[in-house]
Structure 1
Amino acid sequence: MAPSAVTTTETTYNFHTKFEAAPHLDLHGVSSPKGLVGDALKNRVENIDHETCEAGEEDAFFVADLGDVYRQHMRWKLNLPRVKPFYAVKCNPDPEIVRLLAELGTGFDCASKAEIEQILKMGVDPARIIYAQPCKTKSYVRYAADSGVKKMTFDNTDELYKIKKFFPDAELFLRIITDDTSSLCRFSMKFGASLDTTVELLTLAKELGLNVVGVSFHVGSGAGDPLAFLKAVRDARTVMDQAATQGFSLKTVDVGGGFSGENFEAMAAVLREALDEYIPAHVAVIAEPGRYYVSSAFTLACNIIARRTVVNPDTAENSYMVYLNDGVYGNFSSIMFDHQNPIAQVLRAGDVSLHGTTAAQSAPGGTEYSIFGPTCDGIDHITKSIRFEQTLDVGDWLYFEDMGAYTKCSATRFNGFTDAHEVIYVSSEPGAKALMGMK
């Protein structure tokens, strides 16, 4: 069966008028997101004959709902109208996701030459890119200069000397350290200038004739405490006042990432109030959301390729070790790198499709399973223990929701397994269909 993934990297698009002309959250025309994704999963697995298919045709695959991304953007505009999102490409550089976000008018947070190049090849104006990497490779700075990507961050003196030499016309954002103790992935141990060094950095930037235009921070990926934004915004205002004494007029505050779908409204409320209190209305505000946009948009389907029976000598009860065709070296890299706990559900058992049903979910009194990935490394363990009503066998399928953030972007080819899994795109939102030209 031919893959249905769409390749768009080399195509140029017009991103300037489509969003305003597209329907905005026409809820009467919205397809059931769960049903649409479920149909795509079901159709894909039902077309696989495990006895005769070619090698690779039964590989794990994604279904991506572009409508979910669209609704997250509408949700952002409703709750943070003052803040322009610059999507963190590292979270999921999927070309169709990037294209949709470009059509929606977002900017892009890039951290490398490859990420900048991907966005520019799609026809995005370099002014919509921030090179948000405080410690940059020299040749990448030259590439940014040659490409017209002026916005970039710094947090140390050596970086200022580097920028002076290779891109003196850059528009610089001083990244400050924040309290990120409540986040899934902390950045403060690696990036950010402490407030007792910011005057020194601003003074040096002035002496070097560099152009500091903004201040930035990041409360950590997957932040759990909305109040982290309050202190960070307050500190950003302190730096703005310090910059003014050096003759700089900071025109932009970059509030970074850390947003998630689960507590977004609470987080946005704190951030809105902090911005209103500490940041003047004429100052632009941008952000670098990643997982917020894509986490819930992707569902991963995996095939059970092997099974081992384990007999408990005390109870004589059978449990099973099942092995999937994807694991922690692949799209479950989020377990290792992003502290995630993906929950398995049964997609197909025997010839019965179970997506979206109660029978698909774990059952406390059911048969116990331990789920492993396909590699020959013992660390490739997805789930220690989960119970299902069904007795699963080789050839059955499981699915995992919320697999859009830090999954396929950090997958590897370890042990010879592929890191390029098929993505089937659907849209449960008419607005996304209009932007993407989908039927």
Structure 2
Amino acid sequence: MLCFGCIEQGGDCGGCLMARFLMSRRKVLEQYEIIRRMVDILAYNYKTNPIVWSILRETDSLVAISSIGSLKGDYDRVVYFLQGEKKEEVDRILESGVRRFVVDNIPELRRFLNIVEERKDKIDLFVRIKMKEHTVYTGKYFVYGIDWKKLNEILPELRKNKNIENLGIHFHRKTQNVGEWDLIKDFSDAVDRKLFDIIDIVNIGGGIPVEYRNSSPKIDLILSKIREFKEFLGEIKLMAEPGRFIAGPSVVLEAEVVNVYDDTAVLDCSIFNAYIDTYLLNIRLPVLGEKENGIRYTLKGRSPDSLDIFRYSVYLDRELRIGDKIYFLNAGAYNFHTEFNDMPKIETVIVDDFRSIGIDL
């Protein structure tokens, strides 16, 4: 993509956008190992950042996929989330070799099992359930899953299904879950104790949070809750689907200052093509080297939209000039781009370690 000035000059500026994502292979594997040591099965949530999967292929990780467009191989490692696929699409998925499925509503469950029965396939099935809610702050998000009361009715029926090899329960509170981690109580309240013996796997989904400038979750406490839950389950296998926890800290967004005026620094990228989670979840990325006091800047994206602000207030110990670099930390989760204002997609460069490129975190 060329800007008009470069077209006139016959040059290639790469779209006049020099920002890039820097992904640390070492950090991806470190974050993966933290969770892998705590669970029996781990499935990386592909939609969080597809490029992370190119590194996790080296491990024993499975991969959680939620769209046919994301099925690009590794079929024997896929955990597929059904969401309204037609019969011919389900047939195609099964024919590819996918054998692990998550279903979150009764009509789709019945349709899917009928297809599996016709084909005489063997599958692992995870029934996604709605947990009892302990908070009123759920209105913004759709809550997926079969009602926990209904689960206790259908679970014995599913256990008798000869096409289901491993029967699992799936539950997931929310992305960037900083507070609802009483897993033992949640599970005990929702699932009849008499049914524990017919469950092979419990999948707690993702939601393990990452530290941002406006969010400081108690990660050690959350991890201890997961360890306690694994002990509680006994012979039942524990599974998790971390996405943000692995992808977030593994990526730095390197941006360049293209203009400075008053207390505003304009960058060579936008929240719309670099970090739309700034708007969707009100996430504020930390900036490398920022202080509690100093010279205050608003870090603005390169679009005319008033929403295009990475950070309203960042304090630095230096004055910013055109050409200076800004490094946003924990920038790897849901950093997808949009086509707003015809913005190009920012490239991701995989490095062995951040320190190898002079970034000391």
TM-score (norm 2): 0.80
**AA of the residue aligned to 2:144:** F
Report the alpha carbon displacement of residue 104 of structure 1 after superposing the two structures with TM: 1.4
Q: Does 1:343 align with 2:343?
A: no
- Return the offset for 1:243: 8.1
Give the CA deviation at 1:154: 1.6
Structure 1 contact 64–424 (Cα < 8 Å) conserved: yes
- In structure 1, what is the equivalent of residue 351 of structure 2? 425
Matched, 1:324 2:247: no
Asked whether 1:214 is paired with 2:157, we answer no
Identical residues among aligned pairs (%): 21
Q: Where does 1:69-218 land on structure 2 (aligned, <5 Å)? A: 69-78=28-37, 80=38, 82-94=39-51, 97-117=52-72, 120=73, 124=74, 126-131=75-80, 133-138=81-86, 139-168=88-117, 169=121, 170-178=123-131, 189-202=142-155, 205=158, 211=164, 213-218=167-172
Among candidates 155, 172, 188, match of residue 234 of structure 1? 188
Cα distance in 1, alignment partners of residues 318 and 101 from structure 2? 53
What's the counterpart of residue 323 of structure 2?
395
Unaligned runs of 5+ in 2: 1-10, 211-216, 357-361
2:3 alignment partner in structure 1: none
Alignment length (residue pairs): 334
The question of whether the paired residues in 2 share the 8 Å contact of 1:301 and 1:399 is answered with: yes
1:361 to 290, 295, 316: 290
Distance 1:98 1:423 in 2: 14
TM superposition shift of 1:112: 1.0
Q: 1:304 aligns with which of 227, 247, 257?
A: 257
User: How far off is 1:396 after superposition?
Assistant: 2.2
Partners of 1:400 and 1:195 lie apart in 2 by 41
For residues 316 and 78 of structure 2, what CA distance do their matches in structure 1 show? 46
Residue 149 of structure 1 aligns to a residue whose secondary structure is coil
Name the counterpart of 2:225.
270
Per the TM alignment, residue 341 of structure 1 is displaced from its structure 2 partner at its CA by 0.7
The farther-off stretch of 386-395 and 329-338 is 386-395
Residue 376 of structure 1: aligned partner: 304
Q: Is the 8 A contact 1:68 1:297 kept in 2?
A: yes
Which whole-Å CA distance do the structure 2 matches of 1:284 and 1:174 have between them?
15
- Aligned pair in 2 of structure 1 residues 129, 53: CA closer, same or farther (>3 Å)? closer
Change (3 A) 1:130 1:422: closer
Q: 1:160 to 1:422 in 2, by over 3 A?
A: closer
TM normalised by structure 1 equals 0.67
| Structure 2 contact 255–267 (Cα < 8 Å) conserved | yes
| Distance in 2 of aligned mates of 1:185 and 1:422 | 34
Q: Which runs of 5+ in 1 are unaligned?
A: 1-51, 309-318, 346-359, 431-439
For residues 263 and 135 of structure 2, the distance between their equivalents in structure 1, rounded to whole angstroms, comes to 36
- Please provide the CA RMSD for this pair: 3.2
